[in-house]
Amino acid sequence: SPLCSISTFIVRFSYNIVVFGSFFTRFHLSMPNLILFNKPFNVLSQFSAHEGKITLAKYIKTKGFHPAGRLDYDSEGLMLLTNEGALQHQISHPNHKLPKTYWVQVEGEVKKEALEQLRNGVKLGDGMTAPAKVKQMASVKIWPRNPPIRPREGQATGWIQLAIVEGRNRQVRRMVAAVGLPCLRLIRMQVGEWSIKGLKPGESREDTVALPSESVRQATSGPTKKNIDKKFDGNVTRSKYKKNRR
């Protein structure tokens, strides 16, 4: 009957909406929402032009992505960019305390006393720093910087690995200088679980991070924040792995 046909059509139409909706949700969640970028030396961590300096626009061509945190113009290494506001907040906001790991080339002899000071926290002009995880590095295999480092003649140099959870202005440089080890070169190697491994300067790759929608809406407070932190630590999909070279 016509009524039966209409009912069948409505059921089938509704079913198609549900199926399509589920497919679209799955498809959307599998789209990359994070870019890992190895920022070269003397590149601004922004897209907009400024004083003729090289910016992210030279390297990142995917539209809609913005930096989740910054990296100084004269520093190198890992930057994270995302097209989702909640994820950007989760990565960059100090409340979430994602550890950031750096390799630091310093001028002078690296002594145990200096490392111990860094582990205990250092007094800077804007207050005491939180304790850092730090160790001396016997040898370092890393790309050469352009232009190269030019230490003062007769001065020893060394490398340390330092991990902090704060993000003050030029904090790592100020910390090592405060213990008598001026910074010659600074490379961010890791943020949380994301590493620069496999990326040459100027290269990037894409990742997908799945955050539950309800948790995303409440990511900044309460017990839900703890849940999202747990998921955020490990729920990274590596299947979307696309390296971009510029």
Q: Closest by alpha carbon to 134, among 120, 152, 153, 149?
A: 120
pLDDT surpassing 60 at residue 9: no
Judged by average pLDDT, the poorest of 30-34, 68-72, 161-165 is 30-34
Q: Closest by alpha carbon to 205, among 240, 159, 237, 170?
A: 240
Q: Provide the whole-model pTM.
A: 0.77
Q: Closest by alpha carbon to 85, among 100, 71, 73, 67?
A: 67
Predicted local distance difference test score (pLDDT) of residue 161? 98
Sorted by sequence, the CB contacts under 8 Å of residue 216 that are 6+ apart come out as: 86, 87, 228
pLDDT surpassing 90 at residue 116: yes
Q: Closest by alpha carbon to 106, among 148, 156, 68?
A: 156
Determine which one of 72, 126, 207, 229 is catalytic: 72
Average pLDDT value over all residues in the chain: 81
The answer to whether the peptide bond before residue 67 is cis (omega within 30 degrees of 0) is: no
Q: In angstroms, rounded to a whole number, what is the distance separating the alpha carbons of residues 67 and 45?
A: 7
Sorted by sequence, the CB contacts under 8 Å of residue 229 that are 6+ apart come out as: 96
Q: What is the DSSP letter of 53?
A: -
Q: What is the pLDDT of residues 37-59, one digit of tens each?
A: 999 999 999 999 999 999 999 99
Higher pLDDT, 224 or 119: 119
pLDDT surpassing 90 at residue 31: no
Q: Is 72 a catalytic residue?
A: yes
Residue 16 Cα to chain centre, angstroms: 40
Tell me what the mean pLDDT of segment 109-113 comes to.
96
Q: Closest by alpha carbon to 106, among 41, 182, 164?
A: 182
Q: What is the pLDDT of residues 156-201, one digit of tens each?
A: 999 999 999 998 999 999 999 999 999 999 999 999 999 999 999 9
Predicted local distance difference test score (pLDDT) of residue 153? 85
Q: In angstroms, rounded to a whole number, what is the distance separating the alpha carbons of residues 67 and 74?
A: 17
Q: Closest by alpha carbon to 37, among 1, 74, 62?
A: 62
Tokens matching residue 65: 């992505």
